Chains A and B, each alone.
Chain A
């Protein structure tokens, strides 16, 4: 089996309003994949379904052949769009928290990355800027040896230099055994980091392929293709 995530005819309604409509996807192992779509296209809903935070209205989603649950959460590292940590917590508390929850968490790796960022672990979250908070959270998420990383808008709220740092962190922690799914609408910044892309529109995946194949066959960047496909 060379896919880490599969979904068939996945549908999710919120009070009758369809957020995902008939999504069929297969994510290969060992790739960095961009989940790209405009606002409201269903990116976050899909990631939450994969993370096991939502249940499908119908259809099936499996991770490493299993339905989302305790077993899949052990192999999935999820970076939500927003911080969910309490503001009083210190960085050191968060590290203990992650070490407690996830057996694949590598404490030394996290400490090393934080040190490189000059973030001391005795500081409380409320003392940190928005960008620093996002970096701390990414460090924690990327310090796990997960099989599937789900990163929801990891570069959305930060400046271009921090964006580069985040992408470099993702690249340097990537290994051939894990798959990284990154949702974003900032395609231009992320394009060179990706192996593959998925375009999602109105809750349906309607294009999936290799970034370099698009350049080779169409002479276009993913950014250009996105602008064409999603022209308002």
Chain B
């Protein structure tokens, strides 16, 4: 099944985020070898050059490590994964507040809406 992409961000960044989430939720564990670029590209239905760019991006943030001949591996440093997780959460929250303030809610009103929703669950 091809991955789904939205329209406003470069595809290679969306792929990088997708792989980050797979690492955070344990689909790929610490120290594990990632599938080859070709396999990942086919899985995502994108071309291998784009996948290469995504992995380079992840390598820059050190969540994956490239080993010259054998491919890409997930970091063994749990600190880096926690930081990535926190960054993704912060982005989600920022995105949420950006959207809800457009509906005319103040930050405090939005937070109380969240708490109310939590009670009802």
**What residues of chain A have their CB less than 8 Å away from a CB belonging to chain B?**
30-32, 164, 167-168, 171-172, 174, 176, 192-195, 211-212, 215-216, 219-221, 224
A215 near B8: Cβ-Cβ < 8 Å: yes
**CB contact under 8 A between A192 and B7, given known A172-B38, A212-B53:** no
B10 near A164: Cβ-Cβ < 8 Å: no
Interface digits, B1-33 against A, CB 8 Å rule (1 contact, 0 not)? Answer: 010010111111000000000000000000000
Q: Name the distance in Å between B37's Cβ and chain A's nearest Cβ.
A: 10
Q: Name the distance in Å between A32's Cβ and chain B's nearest Cβ.
A: 5
Please give, as numbers and ranges, the residues of chain A lying within 8 Å of B9 by CB-CB distance.
Answer: 215
Complex Cα gap A31–B98 (Å):
38
B47 near A171: Cβ-Cβ < 8 Å: yes
Which residues of chain B from 52 to 89 have any CB-CB distance to chain A below 8 Å in the complex?
53
A164 near B2: Cβ-Cβ < 8 Å: yes
Q: Name the distance in Å between B95's Cβ and chain A's nearest Cβ.
A: 15
**What residues of chain B have their CB less than 8 Å away from a CB belonging to chain A?**
2, 5, 7-12, 38, 41-42, 44-50, 53
B50: which of A172, A195, A220 is its contact (CB, 8 Å)?
Answer: A195
Complex Cα gap A30–B50 (Å):
12
Please give, as numbers and ranges, the residues of chain B lying within 8 Å of A212 by CB-CB distance.
Answer: 10-12, 50, 53
Determine the residue in chain B with the shortest Cβ distance to A224. Answer: B7
A167 near B49: Cβ-Cβ < 8 Å: no
B41 near A171: Cβ-Cβ < 8 Å: yes
Listed residue (A30, A215, A216) with the most chain B CB atoms within 10 angstroms of its CB = A215
B5 near A192: Cβ-Cβ < 8 Å: yes
Determine the residue in chain B with the shortest Cβ distance to A170. Answer: B47
Complex Cα gap A32–B52 (Å):
14
B47: which of A164, A193, A215 is its contact (CB, 8 Å)?
Answer: A193
